[in-house]
Amino acid sequence: MGAGLLFYIGVPLFFYLILVTILCVKIGDKTTWRMGWLMAAGLVFLPLGAFIVLLIP
């Protein structure tokens, strides 16, 4: 696994995390902070965990 693969997966993941974080904050503002954290757990931490698992050889 080279640096190119890390770039092609890492950069879109970074932009995804920014957009999903904004979405979760909006959900938390419209409903409750618990619902915002619940959405963040599924939408932010699950893909981030899958990316970290991909990095482990």
- Percent of the chain whose pLDDT exceeds 70: 96
Alpha-carbon distance of 46 to 6, in angstroms, equals 18
Determine contact, residues 51/10, Cβ cutoff 8 Å.
yes
56 phi/psi in degrees, rounded to 5: -75, 125
Degrees to nearest 5, angle at CA 50 with 15 and 13: 10
**What does the pLDDT look like over 33-55, one tens digit per residue?**
888 888 888 888 888 788 788 77
pLDDT of residue 5: 72
pLDDT of residue 1: 57
Owner of token pair 């050889």:
57
